[in-house]
Amino acid sequence: MAEESTAISPIHNLSALDSARLLLLNNSHAKETSELDDERLAALLGMAFYARGVDRGATAFLVAFDHNAAYKNQNFEWFKARRQPFVYIDRVVVAETARGRGIAKALYDDLFAEAKLAGHERVVCEVNIDPPNPASEAFHSAMGFTAVGQAAIHNGTKTVRYFEKTLA
């Protein structure tokens, strides 16, 4: 019996040509990331510092903004008021069938390299703590992120913990 391949497909820049794949994967995880439509996705990709994925976004993707983005988001604004300069991870999604293969780590490592190359010293994000997302908290801790705050958002229906990683 042949062993299952665990090699990670190459990471590629994403564009509007990848929209159908990105929307399908993103919206299947809308509870964690928020639902997108074509127009909103195009706006996000247009202002992204980093928008890359595996299998053109069908298997996984990560979208991040630097502190200069014209992004209107409560979590982004929290960091903008406290942590400039930064690169903010807005969304990272890995298809359930591809989890546990190191894809998220590969995307994060790629983002860290790009951020350092552009002169950024920190990467930031938030993780849901209500409703809880312990796997994401554990992942971010393992990737070297530390908690720097928390907030209730969406009229108190969700609570997030804010994290940052200083790039060496």
The H or E element containing residue 117 is helix 103-117
Distance CA 13, CA 16 (A): 11
Q: How far apart are CA 51 and CA 68, in angstroms?
A: 16
106: left (phi over 0), alpha (psi -120 to 50) or beta: alpha
Taken in order of first residue, the domains within the chain and their CATH numbers are: 11-125 (3.40.630.30)
Q: One-letter amino acid identity for 67?
A: H
Helix (H, G, I), strand (E, B) or coil at 61: strand
Tens-place pLDDT, residues 112-156 = 999 999 999 999 999 999 888 898 999 999 999 999 999 999 888
Model pLDDT, residue 9: 84
Structure confidence at residue 166 (pLDDT): 97
Low-confidence ranges of the chain (pLDDT < 50): 1-5
What confidence score (pLDDT) does residue 29 get?
Answer: 85
